[in-house]
C-alpha cells in the first residue's frame, strides 16, 4: 500500500479531457494565445540571453576556440531531451512541463521530486539572469551617462567581501597597486568588489552591499508577467528581434577582425579544460523547456510545441557556435573570463567601440527577455502542483482579469529578488544546471517508460525510432575503447583512489550506462531518448561533488515537505483524479 500511494499516477485521458474544456466550463483555465512562431520566439528568448552575452566568456576562457565542440555536444544532448519534451507535450497538452510528464510516467513521488528540482531551473536560475542583467546595465549607465551607480549597489554581499580580501591580499603580498591590478586579467574583475566593500555604508561592523538593479528588474518583469501571457509575448517578440539582429551584426562585423592565429591551439587546455566549462555552456541552453510550461496557453500544442522547441534550439546553436568562433578569433581566449565578453572584445578595437555600446544596450534587452520566459515558467509549474493538491490552494489562484497565476507569480518574484542579496553567480549557475539536467534525465526516461507499456498512449508527435538494441551497448564498448587507448592518463587517474569523492558522479554515470545498455538490448529501446538520458547525466557528472551535495540537501527539504503535507493533500489521495 505504501508503494502504491507513492507511485500513484495521473490519468492521461483525464488530463486530455481537462485540456479541451472551455473557459466557461473551467474558470481556472488559462488563455490560449500562442502558436508555433510564438513558441519559437519564446525559445530563442530563453536561450539567447545570459549565455551568449555573459557565460560564453567563461566557457571560452577555459576551453579556448574548441568550446564550439562543447556547444555542439550540449545542443545534441538538449535536442535529445527536446524530442522527449515535445513527445510528452503532444500527449499531455497542459501546464506543468517535466512535473506533469513525470506524474504520468512514474507517479506522484517522482513528480514531486522533479517539480521541486524545477524550482532550481526557473526561480533560482533567474537569479543568475538578474545578476547578469545588472552587470550589463551598470556598465551601460556608468560608461555612457554622467551618472555612476556605486559599486556597493551592484553586487551581492558575499562577492564584495571575498573580492575585497582577494585584492587586499595582493596589495600586501606583492606590493602591487590598484591600477596595475585593474589591468591584470586575473584580478581586474575583483577591483569593483574591493571598492564596493571599502565604500559601503555600515551599520556597526555590517557592510550594506546589495544588487539594486537586479532587484528592480526582477520586480518589473514580475509585474509584466502578472498582467498576462499576451502582454509578455508581445514584449518578448520585440526583445528577440532586437537581440537577434545585434548577434548577427556581431558575427558579420567581427568576422572581418578575426585573427586565425588566435585559434591555435584550438584546445589549449585539453579535454579537462573544455569540460570545465560544461555548466556555463549548458546554462546557455537552459530555458528551451520553459516552452512546454505554456502548453495550456497554446492554440494547437500537439503540433506547435515540437516545432517551437526544435526550431529554437537549432537557430540558437548556430548563433552560439558562430559567436564563439568570432570572439576567440578576435582576441586570445585567455582574456575572455569577464562578465561582458562581447562588449569587452569589441571595445578592444578603437574602430568598433560604437558597436561595444550597442552590444551593451542589446544585452540589457536580451537578458530581460530571458527573465520574462523564466518568470512565466515557474508560476505555471506551481499552478499545476497546486491544482494537484501538492501545494497550498493559493498557488493555483487565477487573477480574474489577467487570467494568470497571480499568487504564484508574486512568490516567484520574491524568490528571485531576495536571494540576489546574498547568492554569488558561480554557485547559482552550477546548482541550477544540475537541477535542470536532472529534469531532462527523468523526461527522457519517461518516454522510455511509456514506450515499454503494453498499450502506449497515442501521440501526434513521436520521436523518430532508432532501435538501440545493439547501438547503445556498442556505443558503451566504443567509449571504453577510447578511454583505455586514447586517454590512458585520464583512465588511470580515474580508477585510482585519489580524490575518490569527486569521482562518485562519474562512477554513477558508468553504472547507469551499463544498466541502460542491458535494458536497451533486452527491450529494444529507442536510441534518441536513451542518448538524451545518458548525455544529460554525463553533464551532471561533470559538475563538482559540492554541487551534488547542495542539490541533495535541496531534494531532502523537498521530500520532508512532501511527506508532511503534499502526500496527504494530493487530489489522488482523496480520489478527485482518476488514476
pLDDT, mean of each 10-residue run, the chain (579 residues): 62 57 49 74 76 77 87 87 80 68 81 82 77 82 86 84 81 67 65 84 87 89 77 68 85 91 86 74 74 70 77 88 91 80 82 81 79 78 84 85 83 84 69 82 85 71 85 92 79 73 87 94 91 91 85 89 88 53
pLDDT at residue number 308: 83
Task: Report phi then psi at 412, rounded to 5.
Answer: -60, -45
Whole-number CA gyration radius for the chain: 24
d(CA 460, CA 301): 10
Q: Three cell numbers at 80?
A: 535529445
152 within a domain of the structure (yes/no) = no
d(CA 442, CA 555): 15
Task: Report phi then psi at 225, rounded to 5.
Answer: -65, -35
Beta carbons of 465 and 524 less than 8 angstroms apart: no
Q: Three cell numbers at 296?
A: 495550456
Counting the structural domains of the chain, the total is: 1
pTM: 0.79
> Please, where are the H alpha helices in 348-420?
353-387, 406-417
Composition of the chain by helix, strand, coil, percent to 5: 75, 0, 25
**Strand partners for 34:** 298
181 within a domain of the structure (yes/no) = no
164 within a domain of the structure (yes/no) = no
pLDDT at residue number 11: 66
d(CA 574, CA 170): 63
Strand 202-203 and strand 206-207: the pairing is antiparallel
Range of the domain at 89: 2-139+216-466+526-569
547 within a domain of the structure (yes/no) = yes
Give the DSSP H or E segment for 27.
none
E strands along 437-513, which residues? none
Beta carbons of 534 and 513 less than 8 angstroms apart: yes
Buried b / exposed e across 462-485, counting CB within 10 Å, b at 16+? Answer: bbeeeebeebbbebbeeeeeeeee
Whole-number Cα distances in Å, 30 to 143, 153, 180, 552: 43, 38, 57, 34
516 within a domain of the structure (yes/no) = no
Whole-number Cα distances in Å, 69 to 8, 198, 403, 452, 537: 42, 42, 43, 34, 18
**Strand partners for 467:** 526
Enter the DSSP assignment of 29.
Answer: P
Angle between the N-to-C axes of helices 212-227 and 353-387, in degrees from 0 to 180, rounded to the nearest 10: 50
206 within a domain of the structure (yes/no) = no
**Residue located via cell numbers 562578465:** 339
Angle between the N-to-C axes of helices 406-417 and 353-387, in degrees from 0 to 180, rounded to the nearest 10: 130
510 within a domain of the structure (yes/no) = no
Task: Report phi then psi at 177, rounded to 5.
Answer: -125, 160
Cβ neighbours for 574, distance < 8 A, ≥ 6 positions apart: 389
**Residue located via cell numbers 551499463:** 514
Give the DSSP H or E segment for 433.
helix 425-451
Q: Three cell numbers at 152?
A: 556597493
Q: Please, what sign has the CA dihedral across residues 133, 135, 136, 140? A: positive
192 within a domain of the structure (yes/no) = no
Enter the DSSP assignment of 211.
Answer: B
Cis, bond preceding 573 (omega within 30 deg of 0): no
Enter the DSSP assignment of 577.
Answer: S
| Three-state SS at 34 | strand
| Three-state SS at 491 | helix
Task: Report phi then psi at 552, rounded to 5.
Answer: -65, -40
| Three-state SS at 466 | coil
d(CA 387, CA 577): 11
**Strand partners for 154:** 211
CATH of the domain at 86: 1.20.1740.10
Cβ neighbours for 126, distance < 8 A, ≥ 6 positions apart: 218, 371, 374, 375, 378, 416
**Strand partners for 526:** 467
pLDDT at residue number 426: 66
> Please, where are the H alpha helices in 107-258?
108-119, 125-144, 157-173, 178-183, 188-199, 212-227, 229-255
d(CA 47, CA 340): 17
Amino acid at each position: 500500500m505504501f508503494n502504491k500511494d507513492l507511485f500513484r499516477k495521473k490519468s492521461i485521458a483525464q488530463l486530455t479531457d481537462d485540456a479541451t474544456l472551455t473557459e466557461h466550463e473551467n474558470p481556472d483555465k488559462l488563455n490560449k494565445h500562442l502558436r508555433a512562431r510564438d513558441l519559437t520566439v519564446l525559445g530563442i528568448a530563453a536561450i539567447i540571453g545570459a549565455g551568449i552575452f555573459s557565460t560564453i566568456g567563461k566557457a571560452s576562457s577555459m576551453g579556448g576556440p574548441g568550446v564550439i565542440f562543447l556547444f555542439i555536444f550540449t545542443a545534441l544532448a538538449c535536442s535529445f531531451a527536446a524530442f522527449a519534451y515535445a513527445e510528452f507535450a503532444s500527449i499531455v497538452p497542459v501546464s506543468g512541463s517535466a512535473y506533469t510528464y513525470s506524474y504520468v510516467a512514474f507517479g506522484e513521488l517522482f513528480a514531486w521530486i522533479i517539480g521541486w528540482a524545477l524550482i532550481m531551473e526557473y526561480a533560482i536560475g533567474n537569479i543568475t539572469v538578474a545578476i547578469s542583467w545588472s552587470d550589463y546595465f551598470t556598465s551601460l549607465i556608468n560608461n555612457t551617462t554622467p551618472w555612476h551607480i556605486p559599486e556597493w549597489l551592484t553586487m551581492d554581499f558575499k562577492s564584495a567581501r571575498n573580492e575585497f580580501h582577494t585584492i587586499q591580499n595582493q596589495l600586501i603580498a606583492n606590493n602591487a597597486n590598484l591600477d596595475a591590478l585593474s589591468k591584470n586579467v586575473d584580478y581586474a574583475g575583483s577591483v569593483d568588489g574591493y571598492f564596493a566593500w571599502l565604500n559601503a555604508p555600515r551599520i556597526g561592523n555590517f557592510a550594506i552591499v546589495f544588487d539594486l538593479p537586479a532587484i528592480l528588474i526582477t520586480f518589473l518583469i514580475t509585474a509584466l508577467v502578472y498582467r498576462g501571457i499576451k502582454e509578455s509575448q508581445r514584449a518578448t517578440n520585440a526583445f528577440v528581434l532586437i537581440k537577434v539582429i545585434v548577434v548577427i551584426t556581431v558575427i558579420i562585423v567581427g568576422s572581418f577582425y578575426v585573427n586565425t592565429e588566435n585559434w591555435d591551439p584550438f584546445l589549449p587546455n585539453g579535454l579537462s579544460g573544455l569540460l570545465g566549462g560544461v555548466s556555463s555552456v549548458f546554462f546557455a541552453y537552459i530555458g528551451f523547456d520553459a516552452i512546454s510550461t505554456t502548453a495550456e496557453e497554446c492554440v494547437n500544442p500537439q503540433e506547435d510545441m515540437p516545432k517551437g522547441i526544435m526550431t529554437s534550439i537549432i537557430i540558437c546553436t548556430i548563433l552560439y557556435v558562430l559567436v564563439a568562433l568570432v570572439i576567440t578569433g578576435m582576441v586570445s581566449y585567455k582574456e575572455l573570463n569577464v562578465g561582458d565578453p562581447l562588449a569587452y572584445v569589441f571595445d578592444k578595437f578603437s574602430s568598433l567601440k560604437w558597436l561595444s555600446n550597442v552590444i551593451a544596450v542589446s544585452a540589457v534587452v536580451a537578458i530581460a527577455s530571458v527573465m520574462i520566459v523564466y518568470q512565466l515558467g515557474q508560476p505555471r509549474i506551481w499552478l499545476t502542483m497546486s491544482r494537484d493538491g501538492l501545494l497550498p490552494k493559493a498557488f493555483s489562484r487565477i487573477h480574474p482579469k489577467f487570467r494568470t497565476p497571480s499568487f504564484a507569480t508574486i512568490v516567484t518574484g520574491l524568490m528571485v529578488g531576495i536571494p540576489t542579496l546574498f547568492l554569488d553567480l558561480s554557485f547559482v549557475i552550477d546548482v541550477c544546471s544540475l537541477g535542470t539536467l536532472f529534469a531532462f534525465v527523468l523526461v527522457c526516461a519517461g518516454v522510455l517508460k511509456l514506450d515499454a507499456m503494453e498499450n502506449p498512449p497515442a501521440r501526434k508527435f513521436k520521436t523518430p525510432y532508432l532501435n538501440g538494441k545493439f547501438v547503445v551497448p556498442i556505443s558503451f564498448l566504443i567509449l571504453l575503447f577510447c578511454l583505455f587507448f586514447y586517454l590512458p592518463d585520464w583512465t588511470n587517474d580515474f580508477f585510482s583512489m585519489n580524490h575518490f569523492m569527486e569521482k562518485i558522479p562519474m562512477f554513477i554515470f558508468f553504472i547507469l550506462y551499463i544498466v541502460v545498455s542491458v535494458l536497451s538490448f533486452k527491450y529494444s529501446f529507442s536510441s534518441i531518448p536513451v542518448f538524451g538520458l545518458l548525455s544529460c547525466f554525463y553533464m551532471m557528472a561533470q559538475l563538482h561533488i559540492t554541487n551534488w551535495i547542495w542539490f541533495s540537501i535541496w531534494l531532502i527539504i523537498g521530500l520532508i515537505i512532501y511527506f508532511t503535507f503534499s502526500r496527504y493533500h494530493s487530489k489522488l489521495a482523496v480520489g478527485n483524479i482518476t488514476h
